[in-house]
Structure 1
Amino acid sequence: MISTSTSAELAGTLDERSREIFRALVESYMDSGDPLGSRSLSRMLPMSLSPASIRNVMSDLEELGLIYAPHVSAGRLPTQKGLRFFVDAFMQVGNLQPEMRENIERQVRPEDPSRPVETLLTEASQMLSGMTRGAGLVIAAKQDTMIRHIEFIRLDPVRALVVLVGGNDQVENRVMQLPEGVTAGQLTEAANFLNAHLAGRTLSEVRSELERISEEVRNELDVLSRDLVERGLAVWAGTEDKGAARLIVRGRGNLLDGLTAGDELDRLRMLFDELERKESLVELMTLAEQGPGVRIFIGSENKLFSLSGSSLIVAPWRDAEDKVVGAVGIIGPTRLNYARIVPMVDYTAQLVSRLVRN
């Protein structure tokens, strides 16, 4: 990644003519993805320059590592270094227009305030995908479930279903093995004990509380009922994945637009494979936590998607305690319209933070 000081120094070496040619070439690439030649550039510039003069400037830009020719006698494309330089030195990011804010809020803001957070996040991902050329991405750190109600339902002599009702009335089920000889009354007794003593706590708080009141547990419950309580919590603890997160990606098909067979499709397959890795979630959360606002990673600057050569624009969203608990963003080709997408991602992250806190 080019540092801010390096970008400033590099910008100082370019005269007005070089800057205009470079800007036009990058903006054309972001619009079409095609190489641009000197004749085409001469018709786009605000100044009158011959193709020969433009070729001389392009040669200088190529020596600086800002542009390159993908094929012999082809036009030029910006390099990854050139794109980073453009983002740092040329790109101007303004505020979203009121109608764009309203559009985002209309697609993400819930009509039903009690709907699950998962639905909100899915709609945010879908919205970002629909408004950009990339795939919308939302990540949420796994939250420790708060218990509102717990119930044991016998399935057969040796198995029972543990039903856990959490915040926002979310229901999750696990199957557990029953201790030998347990009765229906003991199943009810164990569930009643948990609901009376532990409702309103998270799973981690429940385990701590059980340790604290261990003597009370022994006095109130018989051996089999105590075993049921421990097994019921153990089956949840055993399936919890510390550091796990939910990843919601919408609009992957957008990334297929304009691709041809060969290297580009191979890179896209790599991107999809990378998105499926659990390590990706941890790294995405780390990226989001490293800065207060929107971060842009172009190509290999982002080791997570470096193999596929994709760009990532990501911003954190926060809970009521101002803790980073997730991220929203866009993954796409390096020719994303960064100036347009950055404020969209930023505003979406702020909106998700507000809605989750309510």
Structure 2
Amino acid sequence: MIQPFRSGMVTELNERSREVFRLVVDAYMETGEPVGSRTVSRRLGQQLSPATIRNVMADLEEAGLLFAPHTSAGRLPTEAGVRLFVNGLLELGGLSEEERRNIDGRCAASGRSVGQVLEEATELLSGLSRCAGVVFAPKVERSLRHIEFVHLGPGRALVVMVTEDGLVENRICEVPVGMPPSALVRAGNYLNARLSGRTIDEARSEITTELESHRSQLDELSSRVVAAGLATWTGNRTEGSLIVRGQSNLLGNVTAIEDLEKIRTLFEMLEAKDSMLRLLDATQIGEGVQIFIGAEHNLFANTGCSVVIAPYHNSREQIVGAIGVIGPTRINYARIIPMVDYTAKVIGRIIG
């Protein structure tokens, strides 16, 4: 019977079992093929016989850390086994000064927009990891300079918003039928007094509290206009972009048709906005780089893929996006984890 994986299991393995397990996972990471007892014996320098190693591997299989894809084949690590390896046995590498300079140079913001920098960073991670690079870039909230409401017809008004950097954004909102122009002017004046130099997200809570407690000194019609105007920006967080580069790195390593379809389905799911948000939310459960192996995140269940992803922050330490690498479960975690971590920090410094 396969035993459930426990996070403390690595300390429960004796030294011989840990070494055999580590060598099995190391060999699998290199080749992607099942690992036999003779391979492990050679890597141990003949310290243990193949028969002894087979017994250890059988115990590891019973513990749920290894499995045999075929009766006569060697063993492969389960997803729980890969997790145990990453959490307890992996020795992280470090980035060389040349790699750091490469990332710094490729991500430099001089003369480029944030979007262009993010695309370059994603392309860079894909190339360095030989996997797929991915970045989620939410819609940037800009501070506002001016807002006004323009009457369009019965029950409709245009909300015109001008940001401090000169961007003009227009949206249509519903207002009470028969709304006098003076109510639209009062609503605009009220919002300008509270939004100027701030983003809507920064001011929304204050404005909503004022409206609900009737402390805004606005008449009912103007209050309804303000509420309608704010509602046009509700859910702004779902507006963003997903940049994926290097999909061919994943697709090119897949031979079985059914596995190819799983990878294609994964990329289709990633394009869905709710999936992007779930992936972004997943980066907020802990500090720094997050690693999801296979079914640990439902986006990657049954795909044979893992994701190494890290959030990047603005100058106020708010998470504003995430960048990472998607690859097979046997990706080079020791190299990719510090690479993703450093790139996320560089992006955070650039976007400020």
- TM, length-normalised to structure 1: 0.75
For residues 35 and 104 of structure 1, the distance between their equivalents in structure 2, rounded to whole angstroms, comes to 35
**Given residue 310 of structure 1, which amino acid in structure 2 is its aligned partner?**
C
CA drift of 1:202 comes to 2.7
> Are 2:30 and 1:34 aligned?
no
CA drift of 1:91 comes to 0.3
For residues 321 and 177 of structure 1, the distance between their equivalents in structure 2, rounded to whole angstroms, comes to 34
CA drift of 1:273 comes to 3.1
For residues 245 and 348 of structure 1, the distance between their equivalents in structure 2, rounded to whole angstroms, comes to 23
**Given residue 259 of structure 2, which amino acid in structure 1 is its aligned partner?**
E
Match of residue 271 from structure 2: 276
Q: Deviations over 1:99-141 (max 9, x none)?
A: 11111111112123xx433333222222222211332222244
> Are 2:290 and 1:290 aligned?
no
CA drift of 1:203 comes to 3.7
> Secondary structure at 1:26's aligned position in 2?
helix
> Are 2:20 and 1:21 aligned?
yes
**Given residue 261 of structure 1, which amino acid in structure 2 is its aligned partner?**
A
> Are 2:134 and 1:131 aligned?
no
Change (3 A) 1:71 1:263: farther
- For these two proteins, the number of residue pairs brought into alignment is 342
Match of residue 118 from structure 2: 121
Q: RMSD of the alignment, in Å?
A: 4.1
Match of residue 5 from structure 1: 8
Structure 1 residue runs without a partner (length 5+) = 181-185, 219-225
Match of residue 254 from structure 2: 259
Alpha-carbon contact 1:2-1:84 (below 8 Å) kept? no
For residues 148 and 301 of structure 2, the distance between their equivalents in structure 1, rounded to whole angstroms, comes to 47
Q: Deviations over 1:138-188 (max 9, x none)?
A: 224444442246699999xxx9987644355555455789999xxxxx9xx
**Given residue 301 of structure 2, which amino acid in structure 1 is its aligned partner?**
S
Match of residue 223 from structure 1: none
> Are 2:326 and 1:323 aligned?
no
1:248 to 233, 237, 242: 242
For residues 123 and 342 of structure 1, the distance between their equivalents in structure 2, rounded to whole angstroms, comes to 19
**Given residue 235 of structure 2, which amino acid in structure 1 is its aligned partner?**
D
**Given residue 27 of structure 1, which amino acid in structure 2 is its aligned partner?**
D
Equivalences for residues 124-163 of structure 1 within 5 A: 124-148=121-145
Equivalences for residues 1-358 of structure 1 within 5 A: 2-10=5-13, 13-15=14-16, 18-112=17-111, 115-148=112-145, 164-166=161-163, 168-170=165-167, 172-174=169-171, 199-203=196-200, 205=203, 208=207, 237-238=231-232, 240-251=234-245, 252-357=247-352
CA drift of 1:92 comes to 0.9
Alpha-carbon contact 1:316-1:327 (below 8 Å) kept? yes
Change (3 A) 1:102 1:178: same
For residues 37 and 192 of structure 2, the distance between their equivalents in structure 1, rounded to whole angstroms, comes to 78
Alpha-carbon contact 2:158-2:173 (below 8 Å) kept? yes
Q: Percent identity?
A: 43
CA drift of 1:31 comes to 2.1
Alpha-carbon contact 2:171-2:232 (below 8 Å) kept? no
Alpha-carbon contact 1:28-1:36 (below 8 Å) kept? yes
For residues 45 and 240 of structure 2, the distance between their equivalents in structure 1, rounded to whole angstroms, comes to 48
For residues 250 and 229 of structure 2, the distance between their equivalents in structure 1, rounded to whole angstroms, comes to 40
Alpha-carbon contact 1:24-1:41 (below 8 Å) kept? yes
Change (3 A) 1:242 1:177: closer
Alpha-carbon contact 1:315-1:327 (below 8 Å) kept? yes
**Given residue 86 of structure 1, which amino acid in structure 2 is its aligned partner?**
F
- TM, length-normalised to structure 2: 0.77
> Secondary structure at 2:281's aligned position in 1?
helix
For residues 232 and 116 of structure 1, the distance between their equivalents in structure 2, rounded to whole angstroms, comes to 32
Alpha-carbon contact 1:312-1:332 (below 8 Å) kept? yes
Alpha-carbon contact 2:174-2:228 (below 8 Å) kept? no
CA drift of 1:193 comes to 7.2
Q: Which moved more, 1:68-77 or 1:168-177?
A: 168-177
Alpha-carbon contact 1:274-1:304 (below 8 Å) kept? yes
Alpha-carbon contact 1:142-1:246 (below 8 Å) kept? yes
> Secondary structure at 2:69's aligned position in 1?
coil
Alpha-carbon contact 1:139-1:245 (below 8 Å) kept? no
For residues 250 and 356 of structure 1, the distance between their equivalents in structure 2, rounded to whole angstroms, comes to 19
